[in-house]
Amino acid sequence: MRENRYSRQTLFSPIGDSGQSLLGKKHVLIIGAGALGSSTAEMLVRSGIGRITIIDRDYVERSNLQRQQLYTERDAKNRIPKAIAAEKRLREINGDCEITGIVGEATVELLEDIIEEIDLIIDASDNMEIRMIINDLSIKHGVPWIYGACVGSSGMTFTILPEITPCLHCLLQVMPMNGMSCDTAGIISPAVQLVVAHQVTEALKILIQDKNSLRGTFYSFDLWNNTSQNIKVSRAKRTDCRTCGKERSYPFLQKENQTKTAILCGRDTVQIRPSFKKELNFTYLAESLVKRGYKVTQNPFLLNVQLKDNRFVLFKDGRALVHQTKDVVHAKNLYDQLMG
């Protein structure tokens, strides 16, 4: 008789045989196959999830191996796209799970094409624009999603249920989100794993339809400094929110509010325009970049940042010119790295 690979999980009474059966019928979308995404995907595949789709635009590098546990030195040496490396490894872990790796941007068009068959979205991305797109799509299509982020020894996560909880757009009005990234402040693997533990636990509750057990708070922690917070945010839900309020426009699904990129003709330069207008504080930003080791010059109208192989020119409205490249993905990666 074939041993039940999920026997230890079904012995856990909140899941049991009925919950395990439900897991095998569910489809989870993971956006990002870096530290959070790779670990989350592995946990869900080992738990017996039916389907996983994982989207990522990047490839494996040696610096990923410290915390992105699905990948190997061979993946890094061969610069294998993370979505492809993750798909291969996840299939080796559980051949009963249907795995789809997509190499590319998590664009509105791509997500709109697949969201109708998705039961849950897990955020493992590395920039706020994608999170705002996820947020709008979640509310528009009634699909729950789980926000997660980590940097240094800190992390945070929140579960968003359409029509029940505040959405991310609501929260941004009342709570500061950490603007640092692991490129600027580093990261330790335990911080990743703690965020993943919370995201996957919340995911299991949703997928087996035990929503009464959901945490219901915005959770944040700093492992190095031994602190954690569970913040009640139910009052943050806004009736005038353009994403989840009474008059919804889903602003981050509109083309004019998505980051624009263009290769400037004859200049070996990519222009990037952010998804929403902003007024940058050049003094603060220049000081921050200098502390991070960049060579910065400025005038009243722009900042010039000299990188190893590129020159980055930033205007006060957030628009940037990335010189010495025609690679849009590379330019956007540099923009996310400098702007957080």
Cα(301)–Cα(316) distance, integer angstroms: 7
Distance of CA 81 to the CA centre of its chain: 17
Cα(101)–Cα(53) distance, integer angstroms: 6
Number of neighbouring beta carbons within 10 Å of residue 189: 14
As a residue count, the chain comes to: 340
Distances (CA, A) of 308 to 58, 90, 254, 311, 323: 19, 35, 35, 8, 12
Six token digits for residue 10 = 């079904």
Six token digits for residue 260 = 């624009």
DSSP per residue, 78-108: TT-BHHHHHHHHHHHH-TTSEEEEEES---H
Cα(256)–Cα(312) distance, integer angstroms: 23
Cα(284)–Cα(296) distance, integer angstroms: 12
Closest alpha carbon to 200 in 157, 229, 234, 164: 157
Helix %, strand %, coil % of the chain (to 5): 40, 25, 40
Cα(32)–Cα(145) distance, integer angstroms: 14
**In DSSP terms, which residues pair with 264 in a beta bridge?**
269
Catalytic residue among 150, 182, 241, 244: 182
Q: 269-273 and 260-264 as β-strands: parallel, antiparallel, unpaired?
A: antiparallel
Distance of CA 53 to the CA centre of its chain: 14
Q: Any catalytic annotation for residue 182?
A: yes
Q: Which residues are catalytic?
A: 182
